[in-house]
Amino acid sequence: MPIYEYQCQSCGHEHEALQKLGADPILICPACTKPELMKKISAAGFRLKGSGWYETDFKSGAKKNVAGEASPTPVSTAPKASSCPADGCKSS
């Protein structure tokens, strides 16, 4: 569920609310109780990070890469650290 930001037009109080996408906006200010709360426009609170989040991942056929003709550079991952001691793993 997204977090929406509100600001009261009467007293200036800022408020954040966790709401479902289809929920009605909150109108009553929790600080002054007047019906002057307005939803603010803000940036998304998440970023798509890591491998696999390319714009071409779900494209097929002759669809072009929107960002340009060059294909994206894959993100390399570091090898996993071993849980064995320095002298090696010994099975019991």
Q: Which domain holds residue 10?
A: 3-39
- Given pLDDT bands bounded at 50, 70 and 90, which one contains residue 92? very low
Q: Would you say residue 31 lies in a domain?
A: yes
**For the chain, what is the domain count?**
1
Tens digits of per-residue pLDDT, 26-58?
Answer: 999 999 999 999 999 877 666 666 666 566 666
Tens digits of per-residue pLDDT, 10-25?
Answer: 999 999 999 998 899 9
Tens digits of per-residue pLDDT, 53-77?
Answer: 566 666 566 655 555 555 555 555 5
**Can you read off the two tokens belonging to residue 82?**
């071993």
Q: Would you say residue 22 lies in a domain?
A: yes
Q: Would you say residue 72 lies in a domain?
A: no
Q: Would you say residue 53 lies in a domain?
A: no
